[in-house]
Amino acid sequence: MKRIKTYRSAAPFHLESGEILPELNIAYHTFGEYVPGKSKVVWVCHALTANSDVSDWWAGLFGKDQYFDNSEYFVVCANCIGSCYGTTGPLSYAPGAKRYFLDFPLITIRDMARAHALLLETLQLEDIYLLIGSSLGGQQAQEFAVLLGEKLQNLVLIATNAVHSPFGVACNESQRLALLADPSFTACDYNGGKNGLRAARSIAMLSYRSYAGYLATQREESNQCVDGFRAASYQRYQGLKLTNRFNAYSYWSLTKSMDAHNIGRKRVSIEAALREITANTLIVGISSDVLFPVSEQEFLHKHIPQAALSVIDSIFGHDGFLVETKQLEQRINDFLHNDFKSFRKTTFKTHKHLKSA
């Protein structure tokens, strides 16, 4: 059984930037029943525009009769700060009874992880059997893993990085420019920025997918087409679909958060920070991902002490983590249910084979 709840903290939440949120609300889902000392806790960190209902957007892995079935695992997924699904964000009311909108402070990935830690303490969970996240969720999972230390047994990082790349920042800035080009966005209205968000999502799709993916799914069935191309319709559809469920101000905030990701900030180094992760770790890359290329997962593999690396062969680019759930399920199952030392050698060999193909 899944439940959505809201944790409300009346205590001020101090951000990495030095600014303060006077109060913090965290919307979260739990799936299954928690029995202290018996339950295997799985904590999911969601990606950019997802929400805390992991069974809704990762149905191939989570939910009734899925791999992480509620009868075997107690699953927690918290909506991150800055989003528009119930956790404190740009649509929340600032002191003075006005919504934040563009005045919402910069939230870093580390701030999000600290909020996860606060919720973990509130839920009185003894430890976490598995922490899993992809993309921005994988960035959160790294920071959370550092905070958890020995309380975390297993970690799965999918299509993510230790520090956000200049290419990733450039992609996000192009999307924010699209938001700014919409006059209703800077007017700071509850429904502002919808046209800008539609354009921003269309830009984002070019980094989420791949040339081969578009060729396979959006190719014209006839050579007579001179207008109204399937690929053009697809871009419009993706933009419209997002505007029907997401908010432009949260999109602005969360892309800024992603840009700010650097696990080494205010620590000795990026490499030293990754070495603080003690959990057995599976790192998954996607062969055609241009936004989070495999080289970034190789870096994680090199510097997280107990890490195995595997690459999913897919034409669907970064979105492969949502599409290739069967491949992902197989790798996670092998990771969790085999001797880690043997698994580590096997997956690295698989990765080397894919790299040379």
Residue 352 has pLDDT above 70, yes or no: no
The pLDDT of residue 356 is 32
Residue 26 has pLDDT above 80, yes or no: yes
Least confident of 58-72, 110-124, 241-255, 317-331: 58-72
Task: Give DSSP secondary structure letters for 284-331.
Answer: EEETT-SSS-HHHHHHHHHHSTTEEEEEE--SSGGGHHHH-HHHHHHH
The pLDDT of residue 3 is 74
pLDDT per residue as tens digits for the range 131-165: 999 999 999 999 999 999 999 999 999 999 999 99
What is the domain partition of the chain in residue ranges?
2-165+263-356, 168-259
Of the candidate CATH numbers 3.20.20.70, 3.40.640.10, 3.10.520.10, 3.40.50.1820, the domain formed by 2-165+263-356 belongs to 3.40.50.1820
Task: Give DSSP secondary structure letters for 114-126.
Answer: HHHHHHHHHHT--
The pLDDT of residue 300 is 98
Tokens of 349: 């060999």
Tokens of 299: 């870096």
Report the distance separating Cα 143 and Cα 237, nearest Å.
Answer: 34
Report the distance separating Cα 212 and Cα 27, nearest Å.
Answer: 38
For range 208-236, the mean pLDDT: 93
List the one residue out of 277, 342, 349, 339 whose CA is nearest residue 310: 349
Q: Domain 168-259 has what CATH class?
A: mainly alpha
Cα 325 to Cα 200, 284, 315, 321, distances in angstroms: 26, 12, 14, 7
The DSSP element (H or E) to which 234 belongs, if any, is helix 230-243
**Is 243 in contact with 194 (CB distance < 8 Å)?**
yes
The pLDDT of residue 353 is 40
List the one residue out of 112, 146, 142, 106 whose CA is nearest residue 259: 106
Residue 29 has pLDDT above 50, yes or no: yes
The pLDDT of residue 354 is 41
Least confident of 53-62, 63-72, 345-354: 345-354
List the one residue out of 97, 78, 109, 93 whose CA is nearest residue 15: 109
Coil, strand or helix at 260: coil
For range 37-60, the mean pLDDT: 95
pLDDT per residue as tens digits for the range 305-341: 999 999 999 999 999 999 999 999 999 999 999 888 8
Within 106-229, where are the H helices? 109-123, 136-148, 166-180, 183-186, 194-208, 211-218
The model scores a pTM over 0.85: yes
Instruction: Give me the active site residues, please.
Output: 135, 289, 318
Strands 98-99 and 128-134: unpaired
